[in-house]
Structure 1
């Protein structure tokens, strides 16, 4: 485990592998957010958002195919300087621990590159579609359980179709297709939680074993393909550029046709090469921009939602002594009624002046007003003060 954290040797750390695996999800969120912002000014971009899974799957297929072809690594792995290597076991095929003498690493074969694209693009696409279908069907069933289902309109429509001979066969075919579709959806909804739980459990097990240095495969997909992910050496990083230039020069030599067609094809190839070369920088910039905007708007929302702290209001002015009221003594701790030291001091809430509890209670019980301000009061408005506790 310390080896995994320290990051020595060619074996990537657990954190490098986790970051490489989570990068496509962050990239998708960033692109969706950017398109959503642009769609506010360009409504035609909503069509791309309607087919978000297909659009992102096609984009990742291009990027993953190009990355595996040129660097022998996935798009996210190449950003962290990682490379995929085929595992060739020795006589003892049960040994799967990394850095074993029974394991030899070699370059990826063509079949492994194709299957790697399938595991990196096709499986996440179908997983997203199944998840969306499961959530949609679950919400529909929940709504039906709350509001009930009204099939009256469907029954009337079916009876109307049954009246004509030609429409009967069409309605029957539609009903059969609808029935089959409902059956398939119900099977998917019933099986998806178990499939999802199994997949998550296997992923967690592989990641835990990888963290404990018990296996060299970070997930079950790499194990099925027989691929280890390793750190690229300095020489491999230098050879990547030469490999890319050789591949591109070979593709230019394979151009056929008249000179004008070759020139057009060469321009298109150069544009595609430039786009692919700057795709990593542009997409990482999009992720960074998304994170910055997320932090910015989150901070703005917190500032808007946080309660505004206003300064305390100034105290109200003291009530005025009435002309025919009892004058206040010079000593503020003396009761105005008995001119003695307070005994069980109590305040009359309508005026705020303090008296002895007995004096205030008797006076208000008899005269129904404050003895100083002559403001009407009742005995319920006499409150005991506990200033000496």
Structure 2
């Protein structure tokens, strides 16, 4: 075990259970990110590859530690729940009547089903639903672009019709139609199944957080399993238990000496991989999180707007020789030689006049009265504060 989250009592905290539940998804993302440049063909079947990997890890972990792979990292153990009824005091607290025992074989098998098989089918249904949704979106945007021809009759060059549909083509069309039918059914049913699953998960997690139930998920409740903290003695006995299991497996080897040697070497390699699987996979998750943070920081730095100093203001427009001269007081209109009323700016030059004066002048001469630059009444802007 690499580390153990501390706490009081044998009941794990909500954060321990949440961390143990989210570890497989982080592990999958880390493996996909880490091996993508090397194993393109393998990761084309990443659902099957990850399901097989988790099947090996979960089976080994449940067999040796009575816990899932993620739970064993946090020092947690799975215990079967048995309620003992006391005849002398039937009104005693329910917590006093709960007895925990080791997992039975069928509970371990069903635990693997809930942790590996069901997530695998959920992932496949999710991918089918995404494809169906993309197909619907493409159809709604571009229409159905498939060229639909008659399945039986075709015309040759002379205009005569003949039957060219073979039996294999019919079977292929039936299989394609059935596949599309299944995709439509999945596309219609999957959102409801997913919403129901997420709702039940949220309800169980909320009840667990409020200490209203001892089951963190529906799967644990269906199996009758509580997740508890491992005691110090259990952690110490784990290595001896693993050694006993492996010694029994070596004793079961049959065949000639050379075959036993080969089988023993294979078992030794398997044991070595399983022993260092936790360290290697946790290192992969740590590497993935570090690279995710690194690239996210780099993208934020690259996408952050660069602050430049404001550019210097452009030089003021020059007064034309034939234009109206500017008064010495900036608050005086150069057209009426009085204090500006309803000041308005002419955008082509930037000079401010009375609105009535500049509107009348521009409407008549189509130019700025100071710079003689071409202008229209659409280029007059009212000012709410005189400058």
| TM-score, length-scaled by structure 2 | 0.78
Partner of 2:69: 75
> Which moved further from structure 2: 234-243 or 205-214?
205-214
User: How far off its partner does 1:87 sit?
Assistant: 1.7
Distance (Å, rounded) in 2 between the aligned partners of 1:346 and 1:142: 52
**CA distance in 2 between partners of 1:52 and 1:199 (Å):** 23
Which range is displaced more, 46-55 or 242-251?
Answer: 242-251
Q: Structure 2 vs 1, CA of residues 57 and 345 (structure 1 numbering), >3 Å: closer, same or farther?
A: closer
Matched with 1:11 is 11
Counterpart Cα distance in 1 of 2:171 and 2:366: 90
Structure 2 spans left out of the alignment, 5+ residues: 1-5, 155-161
Counterpart of 1:290?
Answer: 288
Map of 1:1-389 to 2, 5 A cutoff?
7-36=7-36, 38=37, 42=38, 45-91=39-85, 100-137=95-132, 139-140=134-135, 146-147=143-144, 150-156=147-153, 160=163, 192-257=190-255, 260-336=258-334, 341-342=339-340, 344-356=342-354, 369-377=367-375, 381=379, 383-388=381-386
Structure 1 unaligned runs (5+)?
A: 1-5
Q: Distance in 1 between matches of 2:102 and 2:139?
A: 55
Secondary structure of 1:322's counterpart equals: coil
The alignment yields a C-alpha RMSD, in angstroms, of 3.8
Please give the alpha-carbon distance, in whole angstroms, between the structure 2 residues aligned to 1:306 and 1:236.
52
CA distances 1:145-190 after superposition (whole Å, capped 9, x unpaired) = 7427654253448x7356xxxx65x667667766776776666566
Matches of 1:356 and 1:388 in 2, distance apart? 10
Cα distance in 2, alignment partners of residues 177 and 54 from structure 1 = 23
Whichever structure has more helix as a proportion of its residues is 1
1:290 deviates by 2.0
Q: Distance in 2 between matches of 1:139 and 1:327?
A: 68
Distance in structure 2 (CA, Å) of the matches to 1:183 and 1:357: 71
1:49 to 1:154, Cα distance in 2 relative to 1, 3 A: farther
Where 2:95 maps in the other structure, the secondary structure is: coil
| Count of equivalent residues | 369
Output the CA distance in 1 between the equivalents of 2:188 and 2:343.
74
Q: CA deviation at 1:89?
A: 2.2
Cα distance, 1:116 vs structure 2: 1.5
**Rounded Cα–Cα distance in structure 1 between residues aligned with 2:54 and 2:81:** 25
Q: Is the 8 A contact 1:98 1:215 kept in 2?
A: no
> Given the two structures, how large is their TM-score scaled by the length of structure 1?
0.78
